Structure 1
Amino acid sequence: MHSSKMWVWQQTEGFRWLQCQLLADWPHAFGCRDIHPHKPPQLAAQLKLPPQRAVWGHQVHGPDWIWADEVELAATTHHSTLPEPSSEDREVVVTRPQVDAIIARQGSDSAWVCTADCVPILVASREWVAAIHAGWRGTAARILPNVLQQFTQAGIPAEQIRIAIGPAISGAVYQVSEAVAEQVLQTLPPSPVARSALLEDPHPGKVRLDLRQVNQAQAQLYGIPPQHIALSPHCTLSQPQDFFSYRRDGSLKDEQGRHCVQWSGIGLRA
């Protein structure tokens, strides 16, 4: 489902984010550059989720995931950068595991990832939710199917799962080597979908690759109905007014040395 009508901007108290109508029953957000420098606890609070239970990992472009409730949270907190912070605005110091996906199975938890061209993916079911960071390496390592396997092995039917694939660099502008594209496309059988994810590039040895379409195809191979998958029409590289982009900007740090990224996350139904 690749429709701009499915994606709606939300704004409140200086925060701005995208929501996908496919996930309307779950509190969730795909962030943009306007949220910087705030982190998941502050955005979770905007979604009426407990900020102290916003969980994310140290992303390493791999295939690994972790349960949100197994991430150790320190007992101490410090105030966020919001003016006049209340107890709800405090940010919990987390010990971040080296993972690129978080699965939340308790109602108090929310799962978060950061991106700046890579693909943010939010997965939702009545029982669990997950946030996934899928760059080309993670996509080649099948991180989305790895997470979906946990859902289905727990007895959650594939047809009850919803997936929103958020703002990322589009295939029209994502130049990669032929070798990288081959690694990614090896996760799919030969098909029109696989061919449509690959575009020509004028430079020898280079092609254009749409990671969003590859992840969509991986999800469908895992049994997720096509109508239960939504693709964002937004391109991080082509929309500098809305999103940070590593490919466009070359640096992901501001003058204070803070990382400039989009945060995306989801919690269980309120």
Structure 2
Amino acid sequence: MASLTRQTSGGVTLLTDESRPGGVTLAFTERTGGVSAAPYASLNLGARCGDEAARVAENRRRALAAVGAEGLLDRLVVPHQVHGDHVVSVRSAEPAALAAARAEAEAGADAVVCTAPGVPVLMCFADCVPVVLVAPGAFAVAHSGWRGTIARIAEKCARALCAEVGCVPSELLAYVGPHVGAADYEVSEELAARFAAEFGPSVVPTPRHLDLTAAVVSALASAGVDEKSVAVCDVSTASATNRFFSYRAESGETGRHGAIALMGAGEATL
């Protein structure tokens, strides 16, 4: 059963599944515990929002240390998120193979499937939906903004993860991290209609307000992931800027919290 609990490690507050399902460590970071100054205060993990590079590097080190992976900073995979549906596969920690996968991710990707132990993956968010999927001995991390959500990147990522490790969707656990909630997410009538046509009317609970949680869970269900196997953080980033960054609530000038996942050495065959 997927579940998320809040804990603090080394001053960094995380939402995590302490059971480490499938040998995978996963966490969604909050915004406190870092070294960045306003408007990026304080644990900004995003390198493309205007913060100082040295501060972002230190924040990433602290985030990895909080999940017991400080020594793996040189292996960290951080895609350039482009609001698409490209999925990168990381199959080896061997330097040449890892360098090739990192280059592909940095060229533009919004999901990473990882079967290699000792390779942490980080994706960054400030209202969009973070999704972590766990299979026995493998994981995937996806960035599902509205474009990725309507392109069903969570479904595509789940199918790619199953294909990579030869498991069935019923074996997957899914974690939907902090993102903007429906009450805070007003969109155009046209976009709301597109989502209702794609996922059903329940994703527009009130006129022009979009429920990205419902859309992502629907996409996962289409891939065969049981809704009972999905854990959701139900705190809206736009209403909790004391805990999370919010592009919408902070007028575009803010940092990025993260979704981090990795497997320890020797756990890829669990």
TM-score over 0.5 for the alignment? yes
Q: Is 2:24 aligned against 1:18? A: no
Shift of 1:141: 1.1
Identity of aligned residues (%): 24
Alpha-carbon deviations, 1:169-204, whole Å to 9, x = none? 00111101122223334433xxxxx32221224xxx
Q: 1:152 aligns with which of 162, 166, 169?
A: 162
C-alpha deviation, 1:144, in angstroms: 0.9
Alignment TM-score, normalising by the size of structure 1: 0.78
Greater strand content? 1
1:76-225 residue pairs with structure 2 within 5 A?
A: 96-154=106-164, 155-188=166-199, 194-201=200-207, 207-225=208-226
- The corresponding residue for 2:37 is none
Identify the structure with the greater helix proportion.
Answer: 2
Partner SS, residue 29 of structure 1: strand
Aligned partner of residue 199 in structure 1, secondary structure: coil
Matched, 1:43 2:49: no
Question: SS of the counterpart of 2:107?
Answer: coil
Q: Following TM superposition, by how much is the alpha carbon of 1:23 offset from its aligned partner in structure 2, in angstroms?
A: 5.5
List gaps (5 residues or longer) in structure 1. Answer: 74-91, 189-193, 202-206, 254-259
Contact 1:42 1:51 (C-alpha < 8 Å) held by counterparts: no
Equivalences for residues 186-265 of structure 1 within 5 A = 186-188=197-199, 194-201=200-207, 207-253=208-254, 260-265=255-260
Q: Which amino acid aligns with 1:60?
A: V
CA shift in 2, pair 1:166/1:208, >3 Å: same
Aligned residues: 233
Preserved contact between residue 22 and residue 164 of structure 1 (Cα < 8 Å)? no
| Deviation for aligned residue 1:52 | 2.0
Would the alpha carbon gap of residues 248 and 60 (structure 1) be closer, same or farther in structure 2, given more than 3 Å must change?
Answer: same
Q: What TM-score comes out, normalization by structure 2 length?
A: 0.78
Secondary structure of 2:132's match?
Answer: strand
1:59 maps to 81
User: Gapped runs of 5+ residues in structure 2?
Assistant: 35-42, 45-55
SS at match of 1:42: helix
SS of the residue corresponding to residue 221 of structure 1 reads helix
- Give me the whole-angstrom Cα distance separating, in 2, the residues matched to 1:119 and 1:11: 22
RMSD over equivalenced CA pairs, Å = 2.6
SS at match of 2:221: helix
Q: Match for residue 30 of structure 2? A: 32
Distance 1:166 1:95, change over 3 A: closer
Secondary structure of 1:184's counterpart equals helix
Decide which of 72, 96, 120 is 2:99's aligned counterpart.
Answer: 72
Q: Deviations over 1:46-101 (max 9, x none)?
A: 2123222221111111111212355528xxxxxxxxxxxxxxxxxx9997221111
| Residue type of the alignment partner of 1:167 | P
Give 1:113 deviation, angstroms.
0.9
What residue is the counterpart of 1:87 in the other structure?
A: none
Q: CA deviation at 1:7?
A: 3.0
Relative to 1, partners in 2 of residues 1:267 and 1:224: Cα closer, same or farther, differing over 3 Å? same
Aligned partners of 1:126 and 1:96: how far apart in 2?
Answer: 27
CA contact (8 A) 1:111 1:129 kept: no
